[in-house]
Chains A and B, each alone.
Chain A
Amino acid sequence: MRPMNAIDLTQVGAGKEVRVSRLDCAPGTCQRLREMGFCENALVKKIRGGADLVCWVCGTRVALSARLARQILVETVDGNS
């Protein structure tokens, strides 16, 4: 179940930096996301929004489908809202 104050990656504005709080996807997909740098507590910067989006994580740009981004729960970090 989604925590009350959690938002997903699609709800984050472009240019904002957030911290991954939870992954809500199938185990194999979760593991691939973690290996690509989207592990819990990792800092992620959203570069582009839209139907599919691009994030900056672990020093590289990673494109995600919106469907997957909705399964990545994040929390804002200080200085972002």
Chain B
Amino acid sequence: MSQNQPKRWVAVVGNPNAGKSTLFNALTGLRQRVANYPGVTVEKRTGTAYTLHGEAMELIDLPGMYSLSPRSPDEEIARKVLRGESPGIPKPDAILCVVDASNLERNLFLVTQVMELGIPVLVALNMVDMAEARGIRLKPEELSRRMGVKFIPTQAHRGKGLVELRTALGQKITDPGERRWVMPPQLAAAVGQIAAAWRDALPAEQGAEGRALDLLAGFTEGPEGARKLAVAWRERFREQAFDWPAAVVQARYSYLRDMLGQAGVGHAQGHVTWTDRIDALVLNPVAGWGVLAGILMLLFTSIFSIAAYPMEWIDAGFSAAGEWVTASLPAGMFRELLVDGVLAGVGGVVIFLPQILILFLFLGLLEDSGYLARAAFLLDRVMHRVGLSGKSFIPLLSSYACAIPGIMATRTVEDPKDRLTTILVAPLMSCSARIPVYTTLIAAAVPAVVMPAWGKAGAMLGLYALGTFTAFGLAWLFRRKMLGGGSPPLILELPPYRRPSFRTVLLRMWERAVIFIRRAGTVILALSVLLWFLCNFPHRAEDPSERLAKSFAGQLGHALEPVIRPLGFDWRIGIGLVASLAAREVFVSTMSIVYHVGGEEEGLIAAMRHATWPDGSLTYTPVTCLALLVFYVYALQCLSTVAVARRETGGWKWPAFMMAYLTGLAYAGAWLVQTVGRMVSG
């Protein structure tokens, strides 16, 4: 292939749980790129694979879907890519359909739709080992002959069948195949007319029948003549009370059932398996909750204890880098910018990488093993009470690490109102960036001798519970009262339990790490430099406390004081609140600068305990610390979350609402604590 010749594009499609991503990873290895589709945050995963002759081709891993009818942002994107309607992505030259061999009837339903796109199709008959273990007789040649597309048996998790797949992809299949299922007569007449009108207007386009069905369903635009015919037929079917979409599904399934029967492909028997035995425990209304609580406890223990070691190493690494820069460069503004701005700012965020990776390790293992679907099923009833479905559980769980992956994970939530509600309440789940703030303020509020370690852990848990319960309460308010309408009923596939593919999980973690570090090196870096500037200009006094007091940030703190004084906060806390808009944990480092105590936590806590108002009264009374804690539980002190929410909701309206309601809630909560605290203490 010459260098100038464009690469072939192959789209990889399949049902969720068909092993599509495992096969994609096996074919592309580390030659993957993750980006977003233009205008939306649905992730676009592409990678380079090679045929046996070394010819490169671009594979695009589309989100898992049950049909080409678009019902979630994921499915909408997949449909657009396959139709060649996604900006910046060429129409695929071929489609690789990955089907679960032990569940052929349901998986081949999608294949019958894909075959109508007019693009050559190749089918990977995946997980053949598991299918055969379940007593299913597979006959790939027979299936190929009967469906008119090539079937290749694979075991993606063991790397089997990849050579055959690469060979077949290199053979440049050109035949798009043809429809084999039989349309009901009245529908066949309609599709025939619409497809003919389409061909007349656009003779070069393939797959006119599929286009006609899409046009009839209102999923796509088309040439005027074809569109008018579709409207007329739709009206006629309505008058005849002919439910044509139902008839199409029935006709496809009927064909598949007959075809599989004639091909001699056996059915999986619904006898009791290991999956059923495990389900008897994990879906049990009592024991199931115990299992879920145990898994969540293990997850949080890992996030907060195991992650502490690599976090210390990262911290030590950035401290050593800071010391090296301090020793290597002459004193001056540039050195300060590097040490206090760039290294302190970026290091303060990169330190959370281990926690995020542990969260994604757990999520990956739970998802790959099949448990996550059970957790969503178990939680559906609870979530339903607040107007959401069990599918919102995963995004909310992810938000305990960071609201950004949490908000991005909402793309799997089909209902747009459910999705929006989940995005709106996700920042209320206490993220890992709040931990340093919580730890410092709890220590400042109560001396260690008074409060034992378990008491502090309890206080921490209380703050998490406050955020979580408020999130559920507000979800109910937003979903039921503000957005209106009921939440969609749960339909969820429970895949059989499988041994997780560590390769897939580790690759996913690697991707997360790259995305996170890229963000730290761009957005966070820029914000850190800006914050350093605001904290150090226009006044260049020698004393850091004085410099900060007279800086732009200091002036802002003073300007804020009248507003935050009812909460018991002074101008110094005001600086912390402004600075921590970049990232919440910046509050701790800013307070260290404000009280001129360096980076030592004990020094800061002691300084905060002794800080006073001009009249000599203590600034950080236990009530003020509690008010500040409540403020941090609720406030949207994270510009990156706002930016992601804007991309995800497609505008500024909802992020602005999110910022306004969370700030209002934080202010009201802190004011209430302060007012009640004053009344109680007399």
Contact in complex: A67, B492 (CB < 8 Å): no
Best-surrounded residue of B71, B109, B245, B494 (most CB of chain A within 10 A): B494
Whether a CB of chain A sits under 8 angstroms from the CB of B67 is yes
Query: Which residues of A are found within 8 Å of B490, using beta-carbon distances?
Result: 52, 63-65, 68
In whole Å, how far is B73's beta carbon from the nearest beta carbon of chain A? Answer: 15
Contact in complex: B71, A60 (CB < 8 Å): no
Contact in complex: B494, A54 (CB < 8 Å): yes
Cross-chain pair count, CB within 8 angstroms:
107
Contact in complex: B250, A61 (CB < 8 Å): no
* Interchain CA distance A78-B160 in the complex, whole Å: 42
Query: Which residues of A are found within 8 Å of B246, using beta-carbon distances?
Result: 23, 30-31, 34, 39-40
Query: Which residues of A are found within 8 Å of B491, using beta-carbon distances?
Result: 29, 32-33, 36, 62-64, 68
Partner of A62, one of B104, B270, B489, B493: B493
Partner of A59, one of B268, B275, B489: B268
Whether a CB of chain B sits under 8 angstroms from the CB of A19 is no
Contact in complex: B249, A39 (CB < 8 Å): yes
Best-surrounded residue of A39, A51, A60 (most CB of chain B within 10 A): A60
Contact in complex: A64, B489 (CB < 8 Å): yes
Query: Which residues of B are found within 8 Å of A29, using beta-carbon distances?
Result: 488-489, 491
1/0 per residue, CB under 8 A from B, across A23-57: the answer is 10101111111111101111001011011101011
Query: Which residues of A are found within 8 Å of B488, using beta-carbon distances?
Result: 29
Contact in complex: A35, B69 (CB < 8 Å): yes
Query: Which residues of B are found within 8 Å of A30, using beta-carbon distances?
Result: 246
Whether a CB of chain A sits under 8 angstroms from the CB of B279 is yes
Give the residue name and chain of the A residue nearest to B108 (CB): A58
In whole Å, how far is A79's beta carbon from the nearest beta carbon of chain B? Answer: 14
Contact in complex: A65, B380 (CB < 8 Å): yes
Query: Which residues of A are found within 8 Å of B179, using beta-carbon distances?
Result: none
In whole Å, how far is B281's beta carbon from the nearest beta carbon of chain A? Answer: 12
In whole Å, how far is B128's beta carbon from the nearest beta carbon of chain A? Answer: 14
In whole Å, how far is A60's beta carbon from the nearest beta carbon of chain B? Answer: 5
Query: Which residues of B are found within 8 Å of A64, using beta-carbon distances?
Result: 489-492
Query: Which residues of A are found within 8 Å of B48, using beta-carbon distances?
Result: none
Question: Given A62-B492, A64-B489, A34–B250 Cβ distance below 8 Å?
Answer: yes
Query: Which residues of A are found within 8 Å of B495, using beta-carbon distances?
Result: 60-61
Contact in complex: A39, B250 (CB < 8 Å): yes
Partner of B283, one of A25, A48, A71: A48
Whether a CB of chain A sits under 8 angstroms from the CB of B139 is no
Partner of B109, one of A35, A50, A57, A71: A35
Contact in complex: B275, A40 (CB < 8 Å): no
In whole Å, how far is A66's beta carbon from the nearest beta carbon of chain B? Answer: 9
Contact in complex: B493, A35 (CB < 8 Å): no
Contact in complex: B106, A36 (CB < 8 Å): yes
* Interchain CA distance A28-B495 in the complex, whole Å: 23
Whether a CB of chain A sits under 8 angstroms from the CB of B137 is no
Interface residues of B in 232-289 (CB under 8 A from A): 245-246, 249-250, 253, 267-268, 270, 275-276, 279, 283, 285
Give the residue name and chain of the B residue nearest to A40 (CB): B250
Chain A interface residue count, Cβ-Cβ cutoff 8 angstroms:
37
Query: Which residues of B are found within 8 Å of A32, using beta-carbon distances?
Result: 66, 71, 491
Whether a CB of chain A sits under 8 angstroms from the CB of B561 is no
Query: Which residues of B are found within 8 Å of A27, using beta-carbon distances?
Result: 245
Whether a CB of chain A sits under 8 angstroms from the CB of B21 is no
In whole Å, how far is A33's beta carbon from the nearest beta carbon of chain B? Answer: 6
Query: Which residues of A are found within 8 Å of B270, using beta-carbon distances?
Result: 45, 47, 56
Contact in complex: A63, B494 (CB < 8 Å): yes
1/0 per residue, CB under 8 A from A, across B466-500: the answer is 00000000000000000000001111111110000
Contact in complex: B380, A52 (CB < 8 Å): yes
Give the residue name and chain of the A residue nearest to B104 (CB): A59
Whether a CB of chain A sits under 8 angstroms from the CB of B103 is yes
In whole Å, how far is A61's beta carbon from the nearest beta carbon of chain B? Answer: 4
* Interchain CA distance A39-B255 in the complex, whole Å: 13
Question: Given A37-B253, A52-B381, A64-B491, A59–B69 Cβ distance below 8 Å?
Answer: no
Contact in complex: B279, A48 (CB < 8 Å): yes
Question: Given A32-B71, A35-B109, A60–B250 Cβ distance below 8 Å?
Answer: no
Contact in complex: A41, B250 (CB < 8 Å): yes
Contact in complex: B67, A35 (CB < 8 Å): yes
Query: Which residues of B are found within 8 Å of A63, using beta-carbon distances?
Result: 373, 377, 380, 490-494
Query: Which residues of B are found within 8 Å of A71, using beta-carbon distances?
Result: 489
In whole Å, how far is A65's beta carbon from the nearest beta carbon of chain B? Answer: 4
Query: Which residues of A are found within 8 Å of B285, using beta-carbon distances?
Result: 50-51
Give the residue name and chain of the A residue nearest to B113 (CB): A35
Contact in complex: A61, B103 (CB < 8 Å): no
Whether a CB of chain A sits under 8 angstroms from the CB of B648 is no
Contact in complex: B494, A35 (CB < 8 Å): no
* Interchain CA distance A52-B490 in the complex, whole Å: 9
- Using a CB–CB cutoff of 8 Å, the interface residues on chain A facing chain B are 23, 25, 27-37, 39-42, 45, 47-48, 50-52, 54, 56-65, 67-68, 71
3 nearest CB pairs, A to B: A68-B489, A34-B249, A58-B106
Known: A32-B491, A64-B491. 16 other contacts (CB 8 A): A30-B246, A31-B245, A32-B71, A35-B67, A35-B69, A36-B106, A37-B105, A39-B246, A39-B253, A47-B270, A47-B276, A50-B285, A54-B279, A56-B270, A59-B105, A59-B106
15 pairs of residues in contact across A and B, judged by CB atoms under 8 Å: A31-B69, A37-B253, A39-B246, A39-B250, A52-B381, A52-B490, A54-B279, A59-B102, A59-B106, A59-B268, A60-B495, A61-B493, A61-B496, A64-B490, A68-B489
